[in-house]
Every structure is written in C-alpha cells, then in structure tokens.
Structure 1
Amino acid sequence: SCGEKKIYGGFELGHFDGSDYESGYDTSLLYRNTSELLGGDSGVIWVSKEENEEFGGYFYQYMSGAGGVGNTGIPTGEDGRIHESARDGKFYSFCAVTRSKDLNDWQLCGAADNGFGVKVSMDAWMTSAFWAPECIYDKTTNKYYLYFGAKARVNDGGIEGAEYVSNGWYGGVAVSESPAGPFVLATSENIYGDATAENPNGEILDEKNPTFMFEKYFDLASMTGNDTPHYNYYADPTPFRDENGDLYLYFNKQGGQNGFEVWGMKMKDPVTPDYTTLSLCIGGGTLNCVRALYKGDPSKNAPIYDGAEVNEEYPNDPAYPRWKSSSWNLTNVWADGTVNVEKFEDGTANPDFNGHVGIGSRGVREGAQVFTNKDKDGKTVYYMSTTLTGVQSADYNIHWATSHSPLGAAGDEFTFPKNRFFGMILGVDGANDFMSNLGHVQFLNVDNEWWIAHWEWPEPFGTRDIGRLYGLAKMVWIEDDRVNFPVPIANGPTLSLQALPSVYTGYTNVAGEATITVTNGDKSTIKYLNDGLVVTTNYYQSREFKSDKSTTITLTFDAPKRVRGILIHNSYNYDYAFSEIDGIRFRLSEAPDYMDASAKNCYIRKLGFDKAYYNADQAWIQPGAAAVATFDELKVEAIEIDLSINKLLGSGKQIRISDIEILGA
C-alpha cells in the first residue's frame, strides 16, 4: 500500500550507477552520442562472419565526400603518396571507409589509400563530388557494390571513348570483393570477366562513362524548361533487395518541375537498370503533395524507348513518357478523397493538415531509404523514408510513405500519412535543444533489432553548415489503430546513456517477454512499460505508464533470463518524471558464482537519475533519458521496481514511465 516500507532481502547488488555518466559507465553495454565522428550522408552495412570470414563481425560505413570528409580531386602516385599534380598521379581516391563492432566506436579501414576505399583511374569519367554512397552485398557474385552520385568531368567531345553529354551529376557503381575495398569503378571486365562483354542492356561498361546514362535511352534533346533529364543531378542512390531477391535502386533527381524528387527502377543485375520500370515514387513538395499519380493511359502502353519491350506492370503512354517529371501529377488528395488543405471550406482547421511542403521553393525530398514489414493481412508493406526539407533546415527530419509495391503502383502509390508528426520516424521536438538536422540516415536490421545511423549539426539549430556529426538511435515498431501496418519510430535522438546493439553485447531487451503487474496505476497503460517505445517527442507522450500513487512494477519471466542491466526510461514530461528509483529487487533462479548457493535474492537501493538530464529552473527534462544500472550477469526469474509518488522532479501528481529495458538473453 501507499507508504508501505519495502523489505529488501538477500544481498545488495554491486552495480554501475548511471546517475553520473561523467564518472564512467559500462562501455561493453552502453553508449552515448558523443558527437566525435565527422561526416555525413553515409551508407552503413552489417557484415557477418557467415557472410565474410575475414572481414565479418563489423559494421562498415561509407562516407560522402560532401560530409566534411572527402578527397577533392587530389591524386595519389604509384608510391602511395598524395601528389599535388595530376601529371604524376596514378589514381584518385574517394570515400572514407570506417568500421565498428558496436555502431558507436569507429576506426578508419579503407583499403584503397589513406583510409579511402575507392580507387578511380586518372582518365575516368568522374573526379569530384563523390556523394552519398551506399553499399550492398550480392550473394550470387560474392561481391560488394557501392552506389554513388558524382560530378562528371567536362566532356567537350575531346575525351576519347566518352559518350556522356552532361557535366552534371551521374550515377556510378564501384565493386569490390571486400567491404573495406579497394572498390573500383564497374567495368565489363571486373563484372562479367571480359572487357568486351555486354550487360543485359547490350552495353559495354568502362571507366570512361558513368554506369547509368539515361541519355542513351531517352530523347533528352526534346527536354525543355524544368522537365529536366535524370543525368542533370543524380544523387542519394539507395539499393534495396526485396524478399524475393529482386533488386531495386532509388535515387534523387534535382531540377525537375517539382524540385527534388525520388525516382526508382528495378535492376536486371547489380549494375544494369531496367529502364522500362522507371517510376516517380515521391514528388517534390512545392504543391503540398502526398502522392504522385502517373498521367498516362495504360491502354496505350508502348515501349519506353526504341528496342525496349512493352512492360505491362509499368505502362508507358507515349503521350506521357513515364521517365518525364511532367508525366506525373502531384496531388494533395489522399486515396480516400481527403484533401490536404490547412482549412476546410467552412473555415475550420483541418486537424490532418500535415504541411508536406519542402523548404523554400524547391520542395526537397532526399536521402530516401526503402525497407519492409507485414501488415495485419500478411501483405508486404514497403516503407520509403525521406526528408521533407533540405539539410539547411533544423527540421531535416525523416518521414515515411507507404505502398504495397516496391515502386508504387496505380491506386497504390507511395503515400504520406495524414499527420506529419504521425509520419515522422526521427526528428526534432520542442523538448529537444541539443540535436538538429538529423536527416539522410541509414536503417539497419540486424538480428531483428533495428537501428538508425543518423547525423546532426555540430551547432544544434544553427544557421551555418560546418559539417555534420554521427549519431545513433534505436528504432522500434508500434501498433496504431489508424493504419493496419506497424509504424516505425525512433527512440531518439538522445544524448543520454542507451543500450548498444545486441549483436555486439550479446544482450537484447527481454522486457517484452515479461508479464507485468503493478500494485497501483492505470491498467490500460501497463502495456507501455515494455512496448519498446522510448518517448522522445510530444506527439507520443500519451504512450507512457501512469500511476497516481506510489507503485511497485513487477516483471516476471516464464523461464529464467541471463540479465546484465536495466534502463528505466523516465517520463517525457518533467512534471511527472521521477528523481530516483526507490529500489529494485531481483528474484534469482540460482545464486551467482561469487555468492553462497542460498543467495536467491538481491537488490539495488535508490537508483539515481542523472542531474545532467534535467534542469529544475527551466522545468525541462532530456527526452529518452533513463535511470541505469549494469552489473555482473544474474539468472533472473522476476524483477520488482519500487517508485514513490513523493519523488517526482516536478509538480505533477502522477508517476509516468516511458519504457523499461532489461538487457538479457
């Protein structure tokens, strides 16, 4: 009952107390976003030992040359040293490659040159602006393919063998047998084993030309105005392998009539696009659009270029070539007929108005990623994440749109949800004064644990782009009655202590496997104690456990768990946040080795909450922060957590808990 004195039997558990992280913490289990790695727009992959015995057991990160770490056209000589002049240079190197076992501590490992991972010959088509690379492993060829956008050298007709006609940004692919490189530009020789071999489109690949040249297939000479060709600005490529093995590639096209757009196409092999599938997936935001509709008549389907076959799945009406921006209608009307307007005709506010408008007049949609989950009917849902602004905006957040087709389909286009905050995976919030400009991320799913490698500005909410710093956030899936599919949401951004990936620590969050009871509290909110969601935005603050009285929370496991730590995430709201945990009791299935065999119970008294995570004068608390304890492994049957209504930071009359993590196995 309220005020009852708790009895703590057994032995007092020695532990790390997370109430003062500056005094040190267990780096084998925990991390903080300490903002020490400069970069930006990186692709990140996980390489297992099963995939690659020599290089496995690491995450690999491929850095954009635009992220503050890059080689701006400085050649390297035969001696491996940097040379000031191209006259005695042997190759150019690009893309800093780093690796990490835990997604937190990174080491330079690029095998091409001084930590860079890509070697480009002196007469290759590109020499600068190696941007936003992403890597994928192909089981069939046992090779790693690095997709990137880069600026082509000027081709005035004097470069022998060069067929490209623009001096803008093209799409390229580099290939390596190792995730650390050296990667080299894709050629027929290193892809097909023969310098004269043709790819499935009948092309011979060489270093003199970009891997993807849209002008070879489409009548770009007829392009006028803002309906610009894809080679004018190709950037942010992201490969996606579907569950059936099909490979897709998505990229940004700048300069279309709708600003920055996200396009996609199916691939015939890792270096060969099926141009007949080219589709506008997400249009620019100047029209407050929520989806892009193809204008063409499917009954008038014809080959998209001379020599191509008719594609029934992706119809091409000659009156509306599907590769043109102008052939797509950007609508602000959702599939159910609801119009995305700020006010209805009667003048009342539209609660679903989401403001899907990009920054300025260019309507930026960039840094796309695609991943999947299943809806309640068992159908695959394709999630396309993208920003709604450019990197100069503090609100460079990550949002999702969905479809049941990897490229969208008529009647099932990629569509943003009706509420912008509902559709935000990772972003800034009113309670966040410590991290901004988070976008262009990498989603990672390792052993069914999802992570987001993201970015931040060194000067939060600043006005100058002086580079970006690396950050990490866990992602979880939650249920919401408004949709029939799981909703992705980040447990971040954070600056506080958080649990490292289980693939590194060997311990995952097992709280979801526990049955939970409470002595006091709103029974309808118990489910939020172990749903995995750490509330870091105002939009989700209702998804917390609530109790008007002191309470004991008990987590009971069907079978004993090997436990090494606990994180009790505080309320998003300062008024309802605890100042400390009264105590934690562990019921053990067996005594630890260092205790007598009869020691089946242990406890922690007064687990503190770090004062660095809140400001009493401003009544502010850092979202996502937790009371933390780590210790030697215990075999645990149940855990009891005691909380007092008299130990709140603010003036609220209610205890609220965002989430409980139990690091176990």
Structure 2
Amino acid sequence: MACWKNNFKKLSFLFLTILALILLTSCKKVEVELAYFKGITAEGLYNKNLFYRNDLEIKSADPHCIFVEHGEEKGWFYMYATSDLLGCEGIMAWKSKDLANWETVGVVFAPEDDSWSVANIWAPEVIYDEDDELYYMFYSATNNNTRAGYHNTKYLGLATSKSPAGPFIQWTGINSDGNTIKIGDPIFVLENIGLDHDLYKEGRGFIDASPFVDPLTKEKYLYFTQNRNVDKTNRIWGMRMKDWATPDYSTVKVLTEVNKATPEGGFTDVEEGIINEAPQMLYHEGYYYLTYSIDSASSKTYSVYQAVSDSPLGEFRKLTLEEGGLVLGAELGWDHASGSGHHGFVQAGDELWVVYHQHLDRNYGNTMERGLASDRVYWVKNENAFPVLYANGPTYSLQPKPKIANGYYNIASMAEINATNMLPTSKVEYLNDGLLQLHEFGIVKEFEFEKTSTITLKFSDYQKITALMIYNSYDYQKAFVRIEKIELSFKVNKTKGTAYIEKLAFDWDLYANVYEEFMRPGGAVIAEFNELLVNKISITIKAPEGIEVAAISDIIVLGK
C-alpha cells in the first residue's frame, strides 16, 4: 500500500504545484495536464479507502449479512456463514464498516453437547426483532437425536442472542402452540403437518432457512430448501410463522419445482439441474421476489435467479432470461469467477448489495472451497416495464465502495449526457445508468459507437469529484484499447480551466484473456486524482484499428 500512496502523492503534488503557479500568475482560463493514478498497480495495490475488489479472503460459504441499527454494534455490518474453519460444527461471524474490509468476530454459535444439531451446521441467517429486542439465527444441521423419534437427516434450528456478536443460544421453551421445545428438538418437524399430508415423506430433510417479515402486514415467514437425502431434487418451500419459534404448519407450501416455471407450470428456459435452493425474499413495488440458486454448488454455473408473485407464499413464476431472470452468475468460459450462488441481500444506506460465495478456483470451479464476495444490486425495468433484480457481478475488478463507507458515490446520472457517432440501435443513457452488461443475454445493454465518439457529461453546477471509471465492453470484439483524451472543466476559487488526461490505457492483462479472446467483464479504465470542482467532462474514445464498432458498458463519476 505504501507504493500506491507514495506514487499518488508525488503525482498529486506535481499537479497542485503547477496549478498553484498558474493561479498565481493568471485569472484567465487555464489548461493543465492532470496528475492521476490508474487505480491499481502491477502488484495489485490500490486505494482501499475508495475501492474494493472481491479477493475472496474469507474462506467460507453460504453468507448472510445484516446491518446493525441498535445497541453497541450500531453502524456495523455483520456477516454469518457456513464455517468450514470450524468443520461446520459451529458458526463464525465477521463485521465490517464498508462490506469490503472484514474483522473476525469469532465463534458466535456452538451447539450444546446434548443438542440435536451436532454436525453439518450450514447456512445461518440472522434477523433482528425489534419487539423482542433479540437477534434470531436460523440454521440447518444434521440431527443426532434419533432416540426422540427424529430421523438422522437435516433439520432446521433456531438460536437467539441479545447481540449480533453472540453468543447465540439454541432456543428452548414453550412455543405459541403450547409445545415444549427442548435442547434435543429442532424448530421445524415435518411430521407436524400430518402423516397423511401430500408433502409428508419419511426422512425428508431441510436446509437453508431464511426468515422474512412482510413490510405490508408485518407477518413473519420462513423459507427453506427441501434437501435430497430421500428426494431426487432440491426445491423451495415456505410457510407463515406465528412467531419465530412457532411454524404455522397449516400454511406449509412448495414454492418452486426444478426446471418448471411454476410448481404446476411449463418448463423453464434455463436448465436448472436438480437444484433450487438458498431462498431469499424481497418486496418491491407490490411484488414479492423469491431469489434462489440453481445447479450444483460445486458447478461453475451455480447461479442466482428470481421468481415473482403478488403474495409471500405464491404462486411464484420464474422469470425468463429475456425478462431478466438471471440475478447473478458466472459463465463456463470465464476464468475470473465461478460458482457465484448462495447469497443474501443487505441494504447499505440507499444502496442494495448482495453478498455471496465464489469458488476459490476461479477458472475451473468444480470445488466446494469457497470465499465470500459482494456486489451492488439494482432494480431495473425490463422491456415490459416490470422491475427486476440485477447484480453488477460477479466481479473480480476494482469497484467503488459503498457510499456509506466514504461519502463518495456515482454522480454520473446527475449529468446531461451526449455522445457522437452513436449507433442508431444504441442509447446514450446506457453510459450513465450505473449498470454493467456482463452477459450477451439479458436486459442490460452497452453504449455502442462507430469509429470515434466524444462523450460529454454536463452538470448543472460544479461537482466535487475524485475519480472516473470507464467500463469496457463485455464483448472482446467490441472492446476499446484506450481512452484518447479526458477533459475536465474545473474551477479553483475564481479561476476556471481545463484539466486533461491523454492516452489512458485499458489493462488487458487484468481484465481480458487475449489468448482465448474473451473479456473478464466488469473491468474499467480508472483515473483517480485529488478532488476537483468540475461541471463538464469530455471523453474521446476510438474503436481499435480494423474495428468499426466499439462499446462502453458504463461511466462512473465518483463524487460527493
């Protein structure tokens, strides 16, 4: 990090010295070459106060994240995950102020010796209940209490704590139905729906419990996954909860079937393998969005898709690729990301983020060794003007940190934007919509132009900015080589001028595979500099020699 800081300080000092001399000798408009840092060094060093990168430093899986709004830990993000470091015999937690740099909290849940949940403790999720002033942790584990009539399979458990840092203690007591839950009892027992119920099957197990509170009715729900111990496929179930310790067994329902658009409907346009798992629920503009993972957890294409309904228990319909059904996923041909599936959502100020795991082997996948990652998520309207979830990920490139971490955010959408030589089929708003096209299919598009384009962003007033990010195309055949020139119209006190950067090169070693001719989507040309008051940005870019049409995925202007 010292190398990055020293280089940037030298460049900044040089620029400011030149600028100061000009200002001392002139009150007219000036032109000065802008000293900048390109974002990341050859050694992988970068400004961690401004950017993050998914380096998968936390070796765990199945993450879930909350933002703490109460008590001593207020203002921290807490993340819980399947804890391979503990042999999956307990749950660890980490905390962060920025979703990028994490501190280890340690073991926050370990079952008592006589608990039913003795092994394979997976996929913890935590929710805070303001009425109880308690944190509730749901998890799944392998049962060992066969003496009580339970099967040797996966059950769902519940633990509570007064602090997000734990310790979480397995819930015991008398629930709302008057049933006594002891240390040897899981929280959900399938037999309670009735042995003659259509959904009952002896030995059927469950994983991936996910709590949800309906913002309209304040009713509680629990979503979970049918495991494959006595079944051939995983599928998503849901039910209403009378309270967090009492399932309403009369509402238990299957919400998804593998490879079917609805439980009773036609086939999906995506091959899902034998898995629908890791459910999450979000509410937005009158609809309930059920997100889930498909394909095997060890597969490179373990991905997140979405289904929608006007009710928290369905009927849910899976969205097609054309409708924007894919939320987050890697492609078979990529060498920078793999297995981006099991996930959780967290609100960071006014930004929505997804935390998820990726395979440590980014190239080949086919492993259960995983690390934790995060990226932004947006609500995007598809061609039917219907809002869907879209993640700017998975990424393995520098991305702006959350606004709540440093105060900087993307202000490009505030600008009036124009561009020359745009293709008739393209749109200029693709340049500052904040969205990265990562796949050939889907609802997000890039800005395309012929030969040379000059892009202008005009702000109604001077904005304080510190970095520009110009994202390259996902398509190798449309990718640009460099930015020819950037011009920033700035002012310092009463003096106005233009600061410029010339021939800003794209890092092909980091963000492309030139041997197999494919991009690693999400890579950008970056110019980072001392804060400037700017009201206009002009960017000139050329298509590479021999290429008629080139593309830009997005432009980010980091400002305050």
Q: Tell me the CA shift for residue 526 of structure 1.
A: 0.3
Aligned equivalents of 1:40 and 1:420: distance in 2? 30
Aligned residues: 528
What is the TM-score normalised by the length of structure 2?
Answer: 0.88
Indicate conservation of the 8 Å contact 2:412/2:555, yes or no. Answer: yes
1:126 equivalent in structure 2:
117
Q: Tell me the CA shift for residue 553 of structure 1.
A: 1.0
Q: Tell me the CA shift for residue 617 of structure 1.
A: 4.1
Indicate conservation of the 8 Å contact 2:419/2:456, yes or no. Answer: yes
Aligned to 1:41, the other structure's residue is in SS state strand
85, 101, 105: which one aligns with 1:105:
101
- The residue type equivalent to 1:18 in the other structure is G
1:273 equivalent in structure 2:
247
1:251 equivalent in structure 2:
224
Q: Tell me the CA shift for residue 597 of structure 1.
A: 4.5
Indicate conservation of the 8 Å contact 1:264/1:281, yes or no. Answer: yes
Aligned equivalents of 1:609 and 1:541: distance in 2? 26
- The residue type equivalent to 1:586 in the other structure is L
Is 2:177 aligned against 1:201?
yes
Is 2:280 aligned against 1:369?
yes
- The residue type equivalent to 2:495 in the other structure is S
The one-character-per-residue Cα deviations of 1:210-251 (angstroms, maximum 9, x if unpaired) are 222332x3333x589x9525x731100111122122221100
Q: Tell me the CA shift for residue 258 of structure 1.
A: 6.3
1:39 equivalent in structure 2:
60
Aligned equivalents of 1:210 and 1:185: distance in 2? 9
Is 2:114 aligned against 1:96?
no
Is 2:206 aligned against 1:234?
yes
The one-character-per-residue Cα deviations of 1:505-564 (angstroms, maximum 9, x if unpaired) are 211212122211123323641010011211111114981112113222111223433222
Aligned equivalents of 1:394 and 1:529: distance in 2? 30
Aligned equivalents of 1:640 and 1:272: distance in 2? 60
The one-character-per-residue Cα deviations of 1:315-358 (angstroms, maximum 9, x if unpaired) are xxxxxxxxxxxxxxx332xxxxxxx4xxxxxxxxxxxx614442
Aligned equivalents of 1:641 and 1:56: distance in 2? 42
Structure 1 residues 444 and 209, CA gap change in structure 2 (3 angstroms): same
184, 188, 193: which one aligns with 1:218:
193
1:529 equivalent in structure 2:
431
565, 571, 580: which one aligns with 2:473:
571
Q: Which 10-residue stretch deviates more, 605-614 or 563-572?
A: 605-614
Q: Tell me the CA shift for residue 178 of structure 1.
A: 1.0
Aligned to 1:555, the other structure's residue is in SS state strand
Aligned equivalents of 1:146 and 1:571: distance in 2? 42
Indicate conservation of the 8 Å contact 1:421/1:539, yes or no. Answer: no
Is 2:287 aligned against 1:291?
no
Question: Percent sequence identity over matched residues?
Answer: 32
Indicate conservation of the 8 Å contact 1:518/1:554, yes or no. Answer: yes
Is 2:518 aligned against 1:620?
yes
Indicate conservation of the 8 Å contact 2:298/2:368, yes or no. Answer: no
Aligned to 2:85, the other structure's residue is in SS state coil
1:398 equivalent in structure 2:
304
Aligned to 2:193, the other structure's residue is in SS state coil
1:384 equivalent in structure 2:
290
427, 440, 446: which one aligns with 2:329:
427
- Report the aligned-residue RMSD: 2.5
Q: How does 1:10-49 map to 2 (within 5 A)?
A: 10-18=31-39, 20=41, 22=43, 24-47=45-68
Q: Which has the higher strand share?
A: 2
1:477 equivalent in structure 2:
379
Structure 1 residues 175 and 581, CA gap change in structure 2 (3 angstroms): same
118, 122, 141: which one aligns with 2:132:
141
Structure 1 residues 23 and 129, CA gap change in structure 2 (3 angstroms): closer
Indicate conservation of the 8 Å contact 1:431/1:622, yes or no. Answer: no
- The residue type equivalent to 1:171 in the other structure is L
The one-character-per-residue Cα deviations of 1:171-217 (angstroms, maximum 9, x if unpaired) are 111111111111111133xxxxxxxxx432222333232222332x3
1:59 equivalent in structure 2:
77
The one-character-per-residue Cα deviations of 1:81-136 (angstroms, maximum 9, x if unpaired) are xxxxxxxxxxxxx1011112222222211xxxxx1101432222222111100111
Q: Tell me the CA shift for residue 488 of structure 1.
A: 1.5
The one-character-per-residue Cα deviations of 1:347-371 (angstroms, maximum 9, x if unpaired) are xxxxxx614442xxxx211111111
2:9 equivalent in structure 1:
none
Unaligned runs of 5+ in 2: 1-28
What is the TM-score normalised by the length of structure 1?
Answer: 0.75
Aligned equivalents of 1:462 and 1:580: distance in 2? 30
Indicate conservation of the 8 Å contact 1:521/1:549, yes or no. Answer: no
Indicate conservation of the 8 Å contact 2:466/2:558, yes or no. Answer: yes
Is 2:494 aligned against 1:494?
no
Aligned equivalents of 2:354 and 2:115: distance in 1? 34
Indicate conservation of the 8 Å contact 1:19/1:611, yes or no. Answer: no
